[in-house]
Structure 1
Amino acid sequence: MSRPDAANQLAITFFYYRDLPAAMRFYEDVLGLTLAIDQGWCKIYQICPGAHVGLVDEAKGMNKWAAVKPVQLCIRVPDVDGWYDYALAKRLDNLSKLFVNDEIGIRAFVFNDPEGYQIEIQSAIRQGA
């Protein structure tokens, strides 16, 4: 039997929260994401065409909230400097300095969402990066 060859429709990365309403406010009000799919205890937000993040009430989801979060949500933007100024003004939790990684060709910074997931905002500094 062969794998179906139809194109994928979208990608969703799921994060698990103790306080879903607080997470929703952060992703809507701070990051400006749009709710794409409302499944009640799971809220799926569009990051860009085809890419989504799902916020799940850990009391009902397939996984549970954990203090250690070895995962990062990375969002590529055209204006990392503008986003960094915004992040400074918002005093986001665990905000890093703006940094350059010449090896992979990005300028970026990181911060944490309300329950400790790390978010990276980055821009390419060279074509193809």
Structure 2
Amino acid sequence: MAQRPEGDVQLTITFWYYKDLARAEAFYRDVMGFTLAIDQGWAKIMHIGGGAHVGLVDETKGMHNSEPIKPVQLCIRVPDVDAWYAYVQEVGVDGLSELFVNDEIGIRAFVFNDPEGWQIEVQTATRPGA
């Protein structure tokens, strides 16, 4: 039976496709505070934290196109969701929700959209193990 190759995964990258790559890169750098980890020209791989990355791709060069419906969400867990909420209110983001609590899964969170409509959730756990 086939076995998975040994060794840890080195990076985790989720790729999203954009009509305006420069605008997306500026948002993730200047608003979200992510750093550029790998610059491939038409793909900008931004470091989120740990081994997590988001890849921003110019749709004219990548494997997919930017579509109007974005059925994927980027969720980042932070130590202080209230501080993040105050921050994004100040910088101004599209589609900002109210802060909400989901007791079933143990989070306090809010959502907003990046410049091309990809949804970002920022959350803090409200109980251990959540």
TM over 0.5: yes
Q: Deviations over 1:86-107 (max 9, x none)?
A: 1111221000000000011000
**Structure 1 residue ranges without an equivalent (≥5):** none
Q: Name 2:28's counterpart in structure 1.
A: 27
- Paired positions, count: 129
Task: Give the AA of the match of 1:45.
Answer: M
Report whether the alignment pairs 1:112 with 2:113: yes
Q: CA deviation at 1:5?
A: 2.4
Q: What is the alpha-carbon distance in structure 1 between the residues aligned to residue 7 and residue 42 of structure 2? A: 29
Q: What is the alpha-carbon distance in structure 2 between the residues aligned to residue 102 and residue 5 of structure 1? A: 38
Q: Name 1:94's counterpart in structure 2.
A: 95
- Matched position secondary structure for 2:6: coil
Identity of aligned pairs, percent?
Answer: 67
- Matched position secondary structure for 1:22: helix
Q: CA deviation at 1:3?
A: 1.5
Matches within 5 A, 1:59-98: 59-98=60-99
Q: Name 2:11's counterpart in structure 1.
A: 10
Task: Give the AA of the match of 1:95.
Answer: L
Q: What is the alpha-carbon distance in structure 2 between the residues aligned to residue 39 and residue 103 of structure 1? A: 41
Q: What is the alpha-carbon distance in structure 2 between the residues aligned to residue 70 and residue 44 of structure 1? A: 20
Task: Give the TM-score normalised by the residue count of structure 1.
Answer: 0.98
RMSD between aligned alpha carbons?
0.6
Task: Give the TM-score normalised by the residue count of structure 2.
Answer: 0.97
Task: Give the AA of the match of 1:111.
Answer: F
Q: Deviations over 1:27-80 (max 9, x none)?
A: 000001000011110000110010000000000001111000000000000010
- Matched position secondary structure for 1:43: strand
**Structure 2 residue ranges without an equivalent (≥5):** none
Report whether the alignment pairs 1:40 with 2:41: yes
Report whether the alignment pairs 1:128 with 2:111: no
